[in-house]
Chains A and B, each alone.
Chain A
């Protein structure tokens, strides 16, 4: 009986390992593809005996790729900081205060999460057009400056902060904002980490809205730029893969740093307890 258990366990482990390898294969292929010269690209399935930096050189010489990378970094970082601030502030208010209008606000927030965003794309574009915010980063950042999902995350996490902490601060004459800034925020570091990654990922990878808003090629973010590259450089797959690799690297690195917080934050809303 115990032997059967052992064998089963071994099989499960082997299967999971095999499946993990299968899952990672496309990404390994991606890395390999960036380091192969055009002749070798499809000649060798994965890595070639001679590594080549041709693709990266080609990428940066044919398009201002560094420009797009800087754009994406700017937009994503700005968005994360603003979203972090506004969402945590609102989450704090909803977690630790009782005020008139609290319930309607929460119902409002919940209903927006159920509605697909595409419903408001057309009039939002029209609104931004009238505000002269089309083809600007403001038009990209301002509408998305508050993340309702983020508000829920922070509310969930701030609820755990003991009320006594806040009372004690108030007795000492601490202002409400300072309570938020100096007490609640430092304590919520894990959730801040999780939210930063979620927010960064969402902004970094977003395509549809930036595509609609941005017209000047100088302002393009990486998803839009790469999409254009696909059409522009049909057969130059190596170059394309180099661009893809550079585009996904930042998120992967950030994820490596914030793994635990990310997974905890992601499941905070869904799993009770």
Chain B
């Protein structure tokens, strides 16, 4: 039986008891166990996904009226300056999230990996804890921390670098994005660090010994053993961070007091989707935005996996 293809059902359970009920429940079990997922997925997953593809060709006003408009939603999307702003803001945020956050996370993980065990667990806890708060509550907290004059951020920066106390962060269109990037750094560096730390600890110690025998110094060891060793996790973290960044909504929405901020400086793609679909009420247009986002994210993820896979050599 073990040489058969995996999707042929084993017809008899390997037992002495062969009553009809027993055999029946054995055969039906996997289907039954998977059925809640399947039913819920088909109803609330597959159906909406397909429906949204359809909806994107309609203009709706509330969930009851729908007018077919063909590709109009998409042409409007591509020409709407607000959408361009949203894409630009989201892309900038994603860029900084990846190129600032990931090196920091990796660096922190490397440092933490060299520390003695007891301290490591406590420090790990400390670095990870911001992630527990969730974007909404972090948004509320930081909207107060960024207050000019009295907020902790300005007080701190003023004490350290003499930056003027009345620097406006969330009211200044140029400082909105830095504020968002800073806040998300606080939230996610520890989170990604956990992954890197686990990956670092999983690297085979024998490889390091072999490298040392071959005369590799610490730097060489890093490039030849560590980096390739953590590559799968690094790619995972990269792709997940990017996808997450492109879905940014709650943090800016809360911090900018349910708006897109001064000069739309905090407008993200999902915020744009939310405003057009659920504030204005055009669910059809929102579906078009959603699909554009999905396609964009998919393309970028594939690109990332291609680049990192091909670049570091494909024989892993």
Interface residues, chain A, CB within 8 Å of chain B? 9, 12-13, 15-17, 19-20, 23-27, 29-30, 33, 41-42, 45, 86-87, 89-90, 92-94, 97-103, 105, 108, 112, 114-127, 129-130, 142-143, 145-146, 148, 151, 167, 170-171, 173, 175-177, 180, 201, 204-208, 212, 223, 226-227, 230-231, 237, 240-241, 243-244, 247-248, 251-252, 255, 259, 263, 266-267, 270-273
List of B residues within 8 angstroms of A19 by Cβ: 108, 127
List of B residues within 8 angstroms of A23 by Cβ: 126-127, 129-130, 186, 190
**Residue among B26, B133, B198, B293 making CB contact with A118, cutoff 8 Å:** B293
List of B residues within 8 angstroms of A33 by Cβ: 144
Q: How many whole Å from B283's CB to the nearest CB in chain A?
A: 4
Q: Please name 22 pairs of A and B residues whose Cβ atoms are closer than 8 Å in the assembled complex, sorted by A.
A: A16-B115, A30-B141, A86-B36, A116-B297, A119-B293, A121-B273, A122-B283, A122-B287, A123-B55, A123-B287, A127-B43, A146-B37, A170-B26, A205-B135, A206-B134, A208-B249, A227-B258, A241-B144, A247-B137, A248-B133, A251-B134, A270-B233
Given contacts A124-B44, A273-B202, are A105 and B38 in contact (CB under 8 A)? yes
B136 touches A267 (CB 8 A): no
List of B residues within 8 angstroms of A26 by Cβ: 130, 141-142, 145, 152, 186
In the complex, residue of chain A having the shortest beta-carbon distance to the beta carbon of B152: A29
B13 touches A86 (CB 8 A): no
B7 interface contact, C-beta 8 A: yes
Of the listed stretches B27-35, B74-82, B208-216, B220-228, name the one at the interface; the rest are far from the partner chain: B27-35
A267 to B128, CA, bound (A): 14
A243 to B17, CA, bound (A): 60
A204 to B140, CA, bound (A): 15
A270 touches B13 (CB 8 A): no
A16 to B173, CA, bound (A): 33
A146 to B283, CA, bound (A): 25
A122 touches B34 (CB 8 A): no
B71 interface contact, C-beta 8 A: no
B160-177: contact bitstring with A at CB < 8 Å (1 yes, 0 no)? 000000000000000000
**Residue among A117, A122, A223 making CB contact with B277, cutoff 8 Å:** A122
List of A residues within 8 angstroms of B252 by Cβ: none
Question: Which residues of B (49-92) have their CB < 8 Å from a CB of A?
Answer: 49, 51-52, 55, 63
A240 to B63, CA, bound (A): 35
B98 interface contact, C-beta 8 A: no
B307 interface contact, C-beta 8 A: no
Given contacts A29-B152, A119-B293, A124-B48, are A248 and B137 in contact (CB under 8 A)? yes
Q: How many B residues are at the interface, by size bracket?
A: 35 or more
A13 to B134, CA, bound (A): 28
A227 to B135, CA, bound (A): 11
B94 interface contact, C-beta 8 A: no
In the complex, residue of chain B having the shortest beta-carbon distance to the beta carbon of A88: B33
A118 touches B45 (CB 8 A): no
**Residue among A20, A126, A231 making CB contact with B257, cutoff 8 Å:** A231
List of A residues within 8 angstroms of B63 by Cβ: 125-126, 129-130
A142 to B45, CA, bound (A): 11
In the complex, residue of chain B having the shortest beta-carbon distance to the beta carbon of A8: B114
B136 touches A20 (CB 8 A): no
A231 touches B145 (CB 8 A): no
A206 to B134, CA, bound (A): 8
- A112, A119, A255 interface centre (most CB from chain B within 10 Å): A119
A117 to B140, CA, bound (A): 24
List of A residues within 8 angstroms of B142 by Cβ: 26
Q: How many whole Å from A99's CB to the nearest CB in chain B?
A: 4
List of A residues within 8 angstroms of B143 by Cβ: 230
Given contacts A90-B34, A143-B40, are A248 and B132 in contact (CB under 8 A)? yes
A267 touches B198 (CB 8 A): yes
Q: How many whole Å from A96's CB to the nearest CB in chain B?
A: 8
Q: How many whole Å from B104's CB to the nearest CB in chain A?
A: 10
